[in-house]
A and B are shown apart, each in its own frame.
Chain A
Amino acid sequence: MADLSVDRHYDARLSACPACDAAPLAGRIAASAMTGDMILSLPGVHCAVCITDVERALLAEEGVRSARVNLTLRRVSIDAPGRRAEEFIPVLEAIGYEAHELDGAALTSNAADRQGRDILMRIGVAGFAMMNIMILSVAVWSGAEGATRDMFHWISAVIAVPTVIFAGQPFFVSAWRSLRVGRLGMDVPISLALILATAISLFETLQSGHHAYFDAAVMLCFFLLVGRYLDHRSRAIARSAAEELTALEVPRVVLLRDGAEQVVNVAELRPGDVIRIRPGARVAADGEVVNGMSEIDRSLLTGESLPVQAGPGAVLSAGEVNLTGPLDLRVTAAGRDSSLSRLADLVANAEASRGRYASLAERAARAYSPVVHLMALISLLGWLQATGDWRVSLNVAAAVLIITCPCALGLAVPAVVTAASGRLFRRGLLIKEGTALERLAEVDTVVFDKTGTLTMGQPEWVRGDALPDDLRPVALSIAAGSGHPLSRALVQALQADGVAPAAILKIKELPGYGVQAEWQGRNVRLGRADWIGADAPALAAGPVTVLAVEGRDPVPLHFTDALRPGAAECVATLRGQGRRVLMLSGDAKTAVAHAAAALGIDEFRAGMTPQQKEAEIAALTSGGAKVLMVGDGLNDTAALARAHVSISPASGLDAARVASDIVLMGQDLAPVADALTLSGSARRRIKQNFAISIAYNIVAVPFAVAGFATPLMAALAMSLSSITVTLNALRLR
């Protein structure tokens, strides 16, 4: 057992890799199995018929107590004790719905949602109180006198005091928290204004005074809570979508025990266990191959675009993908001990060095709060000096605090961020971090990873090869017999050309080498050059496979890593905006140079290790550049964490998605350039909003300091600034 501090460090950090994440998961999976709650993702549901179909099919299953589709989240939650989620996937597929198991433990959005409901409830209470108090206040403003005014004030007080205590809690709590660590956050003047306004109003009511600020206090609460909710909402949407991506990777593995296959959670693996990795599956732990031949896709770990051959004795790392044949692996390190954890350390270091970014709102609050407090204090002292009347002085000070209250300031950022992230979401970009948008606007240097980011990480057949027409059907048939990425790419290309498959016999795949079959009595092979006996060096660079038909010359088939759609466009846009574009890749030099030339990137480096990538970003940063890193693999995670802001595609590894601020949902890379543009205009909008609220204050504060501010004026100025700021944010759409 590792010592406790190391443990705690991993608990905090190690969501950075799927295998390591598994340990705390195990308990939660067990817990969810007890209650029988399961969640399946249904990307295909979209209408009333789908809901009915899915629910009816599931309820017809034995042991299902309830099934409820959530169309907003495109999920179905099933309550079926004793059944397993994967048993329902074929049921749903049979009626035509694609279903994926979601790891319920990784979905914490329920808890986040409770927070949202909590704010909504406070908004409801504040809204109710606000409306009622305003009805009463209108009567006072329009000239109610004496006993009537006192009665109205008393009724207002009865409504307002509990409301402020209840609805203002989020502000009081956070203000207290920031005061305790000796900071003046935005919530301190808010809380002070709320408390002072309510206290003075209460005092005035007791003294049957002319003015009470109950309406202002409650309205302040309402508007600020709306801002808080907008903020929460935009982040909750992004977080739940990102969580769903994570939850899609259920950490299970096939364990061989006494020759029998057994499905267990990754967390239960121990060194020495033998696990079976099926073709197409991700390697779940570090280990050594004991049995089987296959090819391994390392692109997510190292950036190598070419598959690597693996046989007995080969050492595999967690996160690699097995391509062609089944492999039996003796586990050498699982979970927290795996090589992934070394990367996680790198990521933790990088993240710590990125430090805490002070958002525009925080910086504004830092400048704003002291000014506001000072102004209120000066007017208090000034009026005390001039009149010697504590009551009048306190009243003026409260009016100053209310009018200057950072209500518009509290709304300015959330409203803009909500509008901007909503727009980016429709373009396929998810903002995970609240300040990512602001940081994005400052970017001047963009660093791309190659494999899986600028390129698809999947090969595409170069059609310039001299594949005779009569061999095309044979090539199609034999390639269809293999799951290797090169074969799949060949099949796709030939099918797109309208080639019909030839009749071949005795098709057989030799994992790690290729496929062989018989065609018209002749032996046909498709696979590695050295296996077929072709002249390997002559085949030069790039992924290549050879088709050999007995009695004919072997035909080399070349492949390239296809560029991601929108990649060239994105690079061109970024360069057009005057930003520096670099490419850092772990792949071989020729492949990198080729991709760089195709995309028009002048600065590129090949064969980089994760450490080198991170060091490069650190060097750029210390040179004063604000770096946006776009990457998808484990080898990018440290660089992603080190960069000023980072984006990773949804197809990337869990670790990369966790380490980055923004997730790109679709295939197209073009939204990245759009995001930079939009973030610029969002930043401008936020600054405009600050300008608007400051302008209001400059107009309103002299009135308040001079003692002319009635509650009506305070209320009007405040709501006017709040509404203007919100409308300005909506212009972004």
Chain B
Amino acid sequence: MQILFILIPVSLLLGAGGLVAFLWSLKTRQYDDPKGDAERILSDEWDDRPKPPPMDQNKDP
């Protein structure tokens, strides 16, 4: 039974981690252009690191 005191917080933390990741991806507008993002990985430019987003990328309209 003692194991529950470890496992429950762990499961909650993992879930919260997933939630935070989801909210972050939503905030950074990663669902704005799914088609474009799928194509962009084929682009030769900036292959060693991702292209820096334009200035207005993170701001809310």
Contacts and interface: CB of A to CB of B under 8 A. Distances in A.
Contacts, number: 76
A128 B39 contact: no
B11 interface: yes
- The listed residue with most B CB atoms (<10 A of its CB), out of A52, A131, A148, A159, is A52
Nearest to B44: A52
Given A65-B55, A79-B54, A155-B8, A128 B16 contact: yes
Interface string A50-77: 0110001000000001111111110001
Contacts of B60: 114
Contact of B33 (A71, A128, A148): A71
Interface string B14-46: 011011001100100001111110011111110
B26 A48 contact: no
Contact of B43 (A52, A68, A110, A148): A52
A135 interface: yes
A732 B28 CA distance: 34
B15 A51 contact: no
Contact of B54 (A67, A72, A110, A111): A67
Interface in A124-171: 124-125, 128, 131-132, 135-136, 148, 155, 159
B1 interface: yes
Contacts of B54: 65-68, 79
B12 interface: yes
Given A51-B40, A128-B15, A155-B8, A66 B33 contact: no
Contacts of A56: 45
A606 interface: no
Given A66-B56, A72-B33, A72-B36, A131 B15 contact: yes
A6 to B, nearest CB: 31
A72 B15 contact: no
Given A114-B61, A132-B11, A71 B18 contact: no
Interface of B: 1, 4, 8, 11-12, 15-16, 18-19, 22-23, 26, 31-36, 39-45, 53-57, 60-61
A79 B57 CA distance: 11
A72 B1 CA distance: 51
Nearest to B1: A148
Nearest to A159: B12
A70 B55 contact: no
Contact of A48 (B1, B11, B15, B40): B40
A263 to B, nearest CB: 27
Q: Would you call the interface of chain B mostly helix, strand, loop, or mixed? A: helix
A68 B16 contact: no
23 contacts: A47-B42, A49-B43, A51-B40, A52-B44, A52-B45, A65-B55, A71-B35, A72-B32, A72-B33, A72-B34, A72-B35, A113-B32, A113-B61, A114-B60, A121-B26, A124-B19, A124-B23, A128-B15, A135-B11, A148-B1, A148-B4, A155-B12, A159-B12
Contacts of A68: 53-54, 57
B42 A125 contact: no
Nearest to A37: B56
A111 B60 CA distance: 9
B18 A128 contact: yes
Contacts of B23: 121, 124
A364 interface: no
Contacts of B4: 148
Given A47-B42, A117-B26, A128-B18, 9 more contacts: A47-B39, A51-B36, A51-B40, A66-B56, A68-B57, A69-B36, A79-B55, A128-B15, A135-B11
Contacts of A48: 39-43
Contacts of A128: 15-16, 18-19
Contacts of A195: none
A147 to B, nearest CB: 10
A110 B33 contact: no
A113 B4 CA distance: 42
A502 B39 CA distance: 48
Interface of A: 37, 47-49, 51-52, 56, 65-73, 77, 79, 110-111, 113-114, 117, 120-121, 124-125, 128, 131-132, 135-136, 148, 155, 159
Contacts of B18: 128
A159 B13 CA distance: 12
Contacts of A148: 1, 4
A69 B51 CA distance: 13
Contacts of A66: 54-56
B26 A71 contact: no
Contacts of B39: 47-48, 51, 71
A367 B16 CA distance: 40
- The listed residue with most B CB atoms (<10 A of its CB), out of A47, A49, A72, A135, is A72
A65 B39 CA distance: 23
A289 B35 CA distance: 49
Nearest to A123: B22
A61 to B, nearest CB: 14
Contacts of B53: 68
A56 B26 CA distance: 27
A406 B45 CA distance: 51
Contacts of A67: 54
A124 B25 CA distance: 11
A56 B46 CA distance: 12
The list of the 6 closest CB pairs from A to B, nearest first, reads: A66-B54, A71-B36, A110-B61, A48-B42, A48-B39, A128-B19
Contacts of B32: 70, 72, 113
A408 B41 CA distance: 40
A49 B36 CA distance: 11
A74 to B, nearest CB: 9
Nearest to B57: A68
B5 to A, nearest CB: 9
Contacts of B12: 132, 155, 159
B2 to A, nearest CB: 12
Contacts of B44: 52
A675 B56 CA distance: 40
Contacts of A37: 56
A131 B44 CA distance: 40
A498 B27 CA distance: 58
Nearest to A46: B39
Nearest to B9: A155
A70 B34 CA distance: 9
A71 to B, nearest CB: 3
A111 B19 CA distance: 24
Nearest to B7: A135
Contacts of B41: 48
B28 to A, nearest CB: 11
B53 to A, nearest CB: 8
Nearest to B42: A48
A159 B19 CA distance: 13
B26 A70 contact: no
A124 B11 contact: no
